Chain A
């Protein structure tokens, strides 16, 4: 068992190393790219300050809380892009037929198509994002227990995002018609940039209980400030487990229905 973990880790590291080698090949463009992302981050951050310059609470959320929410969103969003960047390249893999050559290798295809393309540039951004988040949290008087539940729920949120990425992969096995399935997930995730309560009730409900973006982002932050009921925490765990199992099941079905490309 330990041997298997060691081997999988070795393969993962090899893939990541290759990904790093590939990244360093077009440096100028990537520098501009990163600059643009930082710009967007700073501008939206500034927008939050602008809003709170005229009021000190929005639907019960204070400036500090909205900032922590925004930073938590940023962290989860960036983290999943860093780890699961390869999902964005899945469709060309299917269309070219090169996916077949991955399926016959003696390792789980997820090692390659899910986490085989670690994005190092975003990883570099992740570090300052992480410290910024930590800074704002530590500024508040947070109980250790609340922080503990916050961390658990953030990890829980990462499990949900993993499930979403696996859904996208399964979808890619079933049809090559859609070229932007992963982008629709990103758009939906973006709805979690701000507290889920700002949306109209129905949408807010959907975002909490059906496509649980609210569970991924709003819940951890709420628990940090002791606004989350235990019932909701349980629900968060349940939905993460449910979605992960469902996504893996869909992947198995996708493999059976997979018709491969060309002759």
Chain B
């Protein structure tokens, strides 16, 4: 277990070696927050009730969405692609530790760092621009925690799956880009998913994207608006379904990938 904690700390250290890069990364995170936040704030100021959202609840949604999206989505699995392509991955496979665990702890470091920094930044942002901090809704705390954990692992296995495609192709940047686009639109970071007309929303609930961070965000900010519309059991079932599917798919691809993998020397 100790070795994984070391991996965790080492990953954090890596971030601080390039301080300018680090700073720019944080600025980028903040800037990308501004567009959806101010867009929907302006809209809800004008339209007092937009499919159940008003100014206060929109602010609350984006506050939690900013915190949790980076926590859930943060990953270092992008490194896997280059490690496969330059053969570095062999070193990892030969070490006496589980590859999946290794990357889980690397990701955990990334997620926690993202969360801590996002938290700091958004508090500063809210106080500088005089927005009132939203209240946590603890009525559905247990569902919140469960969906959070499910989303965490869902994201982890999904990211691994995409990276494992590098075992078969060098053009893996294309699927990753598509994945990135789909997430930016369908996961709830650009707009609250339940803002959409009911039909569209139902379709999106059939994809894995809302189960990443949208559900935990709703559970901690305004669960009532969601519960009235959708059956809770259905949400739970879908998220578990996707989690198990992706878990097994990633394990299978990993085994197959190792077998197919031929390290062409440099």
Contact = CB atoms under 8 A, between A and B. Distances in A.
A177 B21 contact: yes
Contacts of A141: none
Interface string A180-201: 1101100110110110001110
Given A36-B181, A177-B18, A184-B28, A203 B34 contact: yes
Contacts, number: 88
B258 to A, nearest CB: 24
Interface in B30-51: 31-32, 34-35, 38-39, 41-43, 46-47, 50
A30 interface: yes
B24 A178 contact: yes
Interface in A135-180: 175, 177-180
Contact of A51 (B21, B27, B28, B43): B43
> Which of the four size classes fits the interface of chain B?
35 or more
A198 B171 contact: no
Contact of A39 (B18, B43, B47, B181): B181
A191 B171 contact: no
Interface of A, helix, strand, loop or mixed by DSSP: helix
B175 interface: yes
A203 B46 CA distance: 20
A54 interface: yes
Contacts of B129: 200, 202
A199 to B, nearest CB: 5
Interface of B: 18-21, 24-25, 27-28, 31-32, 34-35, 38-39, 41-43, 46-47, 50, 129, 171, 173-175, 177-178, 181-182, 184-185, 190-191, 195-196
Given A32-B178, A183-B28, 13 more contacts: A29-B171, A33-B174, A36-B182, A37-B181, A39-B182, A58-B46, A178-B18, A184-B24, A187-B28, A194-B39, A198-B39, A198-B41, A199-B38
6 contacts: A29-B174, A33-B177, A36-B177, A178-B24, A180-B21, A181-B24
Interface of A: 26, 28-30, 32-33, 35-37, 39-40, 43-44, 47, 50-51, 54-55, 57-59, 175, 177-181, 183-184, 187-188, 190-191, 193-194, 198-200, 202-203
